[in-house]
């Protein structure tokens, strides 16, 4: 049966199309910098926002009208699988991502939960085989169940720590079975609310121990997915330990985990941390840690994680600029960790929102590719730092200088070469020319 009867396969019709159910910029087979758009943009459906969450917020109940509402329990979980694969097929999404609790009810015990997971994973696996859709990543939700009130790997309760380990173990087994290309750790409640009751060192040491156990188990079962950590600065805890890219990278380096992990970066988490998304991508990229993206955006007038669909072409351009400079995302992709607004409650809105997001990223990709092909900013940056490619600057870069040798140089060159303007506003207008031109 069809769950989305109003909508057929979404096709590319070009920027002049008036058809709401058509792509204006995303043309899967169009070649950009030697690769198809669909290879640059490995878009993934977020199971939780698309199929599981239905628009509740702290002030009101669910509003979404969904075609699976006549089902309940495990039948509802099965209907969501079928609807999800129909949605991916119609949208041209090749990948999906899920938390364990997105796909099935937890039941009353871990044993029942894992049995439910097996039932639904059977169905997901057969749909993957018939459709060719792939798992970008899965993860364990270790923040919704009340047992995780004090965190999971950072909990003060060793029995809860063991429960978290059991969910991760199961998640890795599911990932291996479904051929997941990545496995994500998001520190749901891995942080603290008050230092007055918190042993920060023990909590961070325990998180690292959990990661090492996960690395070991993946190796043991032959699961070769890329491990990813998703930084977020706050919410739900006041201070999350994986605050941002730089904090997370230093954590991984301290605990000898850096070689096993990369980062799954989210736009809304970046802005919550007081950074732009492109800042987070740049930090990860220059450290060889850029793994995958959660494509969304926040509302700058609100202070929380609103997970809106990305519709800002300026931001998308600078995001794709970093991705292209990184020569792509490797095993990673672009997951829409984005939900339709509570008042966009019709099933059709799921399609319209994904079209908006995919078109925004497609336009951003094309502009970023042109910027790179023309070396629009690279030429400027090379010139700006050119004093480090010759003379005393080249000696600094080669590690040939000491404080004493630099001091001697400075004393003999009392009038340094003149500084030049950074030309920021001019560069911003060039970026606008590329976007609007
Ligand atoms: Mn978010």
Q: Is residue 64 over pLDDT 80?
A: yes
Binding residue per annotation — 230? yes
Phi, psi at residue 137, to the nearest 5°?
A: -165, 155
Structure confidence at residue 177 (pLDDT): 98
* Residues 8 and 17: beta-carbon distance below 8 Å: no
Q: Give the distance (Å) from ligand 1 centre to CA of residue 272.
A: 9
Three-state SS at 169: helix
Three-state SS at 187: coil
Q: Give the distance (Å) from ligand 1 centre to CA of residue 189.
A: 14
% of residues, the chain, pLDDT over 70: 100
Torsion of CA 331, 355, 267, 422, to 10 degrees: 100
Q: Give the distance (Å) from ligand 1 centre to CA of residue 268.
A: 5
Binding residue per annotation — 266? yes
Q: Give the distance (Å) from ligand 1 centre to CA of residue 135.
A: 20
Q: Give the distance (Å) from ligand 1 centre to CA of residue 426.
A: 33
Q: Alpha carbon of 148 to those of 110, 142, 203, 234: distances in Å?
A: 14, 6, 14, 16
Half-sphere exposure in the Cβ direction for 422 (13 Å, CA): 3
Integer Cα distance of 108 and 115 in angstroms: 11
Q: Give the distance (Å) from ligand 1 centre to CA of residue 386.
A: 40
| Strand 239-240 with 191-192, pairing | antiparallel
Half-sphere exposure in the Cβ direction for 140 (13 Å, CA): 23
Residue 246: CB partners within 8 Å, gap ≥ 6? Answer: 283
Q: Give the distance (Å) from ligand 1 centre to CA of residue 294.
A: 8
Integer Cα distance of 13 and 15 in angstroms: 7
Q: Is the pTM of this model over 0.95?
A: yes
Integer Cα distance of 165 and 198 in angstroms: 21
Q: Give the distance (Å) from ligand 1 centre to CA of residue 296.
A: 8
DSSP code of residue 51 = I
- pLDDT tens figures, 6-60: 999 999 999 999 999 999 999 999 999 999 999 999 999 999 999 999 999 999 9
- pLDDT tens figures, 395-426: 999 999 999 999 999 999 999 999 999 999 99
Torsion of CA 334, 336, 337, 341, to 10 degrees: 160
Phi, psi at residue 412, to the nearest 5°?
A: -90, -5
Enumerate the β-bridge partners of residue 335: 44, 294
Secondary structure element (H or E) that encloses residue 36, with its range:
strand 35-36
Helices (H), 261-312: 267-272, 277-286
DSSP code of residue 340 = -
* Residues 192 and 239: beta-carbon distance below 8 Å: yes
Structure confidence at residue 3 (pLDDT): 96
Q: Is 17 left (phi over 0), alpha (psi -120 to 50) or beta?
A: beta
Integer Cα distance of 70 and 67 in angstroms: 8
Cα 302–Cα 303–Cα 309 angle in degrees, nearest 5: 60
Q: Which residues surround ligand 1, an ion (CB under 5 A)?
A: 268, 305, 307
Helices (H), 8-99: 37-40, 47, 73-91
Residue 88: CB partners within 8 Å, gap ≥ 6? Answer: 45, 94, 96, 131, 133
Binding residue per annotation — 294? yes
Integer Cα distance of 266 and 27 in angstroms: 24
Three-state SS at 345: coil
When pLDDT is cut at 50, 70 and 90, the band that residue 428 belongs to is: very high
- pLDDT tens figures, 198-246: 999 999 999 999 999 999 999 999 999 999 999 999 999 999 999 999 9
Give me the mean pLDDT over the 118-122 stretch: 98
Half-sphere exposure in the Cβ direction for 369 (13 Å, CA): 17
Which sequence positions are flagged as catalytic? Answer: 99, 102
CB atoms < 10 A from the CB of 334, how many? Answer: 24
Helices (H), 178-266: 200-221, 245-254
Q: Give the distance (Å) from ligand 1 centre to CA of residue 373.
A: 32
When pLDDT is cut at 50, 70 and 90, the band that residue 1 belongs to is: low
When pLDDT is cut at 50, 70 and 90, the band that residue 303 belongs to is: confident
CB atoms < 10 A from the CB of 215, how many? Answer: 16
């Amino acid at each position: 049966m069809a769950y989305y009867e109003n909508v057929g396969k979404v096709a590319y019709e070009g920027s002049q199309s008036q058809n709401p159910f058509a792509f204006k910029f995303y043309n899967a087979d169009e070649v950009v910098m030697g690769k198809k758009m669909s290879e640059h943009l490995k878009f993934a459906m977020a199971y939780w926002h698309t199929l599981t969450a239905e628009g509740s917020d702290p002030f009101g109940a669910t509003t979404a009208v969904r075609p699976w509402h006549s089902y309940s329990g495990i039948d509802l979980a099965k209907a969501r699988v079928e609807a999800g694969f129909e949605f991916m097929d119609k949208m041209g999404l090749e990948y999906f991502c899920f938390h364990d609790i997105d796909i099935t009810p937890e039941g009353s015990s871990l044993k029942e939960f894992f049995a439910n997971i097996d039932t639904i994973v059977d169905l997901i696996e057969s749909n993957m085989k018939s459709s060719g859709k792939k798992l970008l990543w899965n993860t364990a939700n270790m923040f919704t169940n009340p047992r995780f009130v004090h965190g999971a790997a950072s909990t003060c309760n060793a029995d809860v720590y063991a429960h978290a380990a059991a969910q991760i173990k199961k998640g890795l087994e599911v990932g291996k079975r479904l051929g997941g290309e990545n496995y994500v750790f998001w520190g749901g409640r891995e942080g603290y609310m008050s230092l007055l009751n918190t042993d920060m060192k023990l909590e961070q040491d325990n998180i690292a121990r959990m990661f090492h156990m996960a690395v070991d188990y993946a190796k043991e079962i032959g699961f070769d997915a890329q491990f990813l950590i998703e930084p977020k600065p706050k919410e739900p805890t006041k201070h999350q330990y994986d605050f941002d890219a730089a904090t997370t990278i230093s954590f991984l380096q301290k605990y000898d985990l850096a070689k096993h992990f990369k980062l799954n970066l989210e736009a809304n988490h970046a802005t919550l941390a007081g950074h732009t998304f492109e800042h987070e991508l740049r930090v990860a990229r220059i450290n060889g840690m850029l793994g995958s993206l959660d494509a969304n955006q926040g509302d700058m007038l609100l202070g929380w994680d609103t997970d809106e669909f990305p519709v800002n072409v300026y931001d998308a351009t600078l995001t794709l600029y970093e991705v292209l400079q990184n020569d792509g995302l490797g095993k990673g992709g672009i997951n829409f960790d984005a939900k339709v607004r509570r008042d966009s409650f019709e099933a059709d809105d799921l399609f319209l929102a994904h079209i908006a997001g995919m078109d925004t990223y497609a336009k951003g990709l094309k502009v970023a590719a042109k910027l790179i092909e023309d070396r629009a900013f690279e030429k400027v940056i090379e010139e700006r730092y050119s004093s480090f490619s010759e003379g005393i600057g080249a000696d600094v870069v080669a590690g040939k200088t000491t404080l004493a040798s630099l001091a001697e140089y400075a004393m003999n060159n009392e009038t340094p070469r003149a500084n030049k303007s950074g030309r920021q506003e001019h560069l911003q207008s060039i970026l606008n020319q590329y976007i609007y031109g």
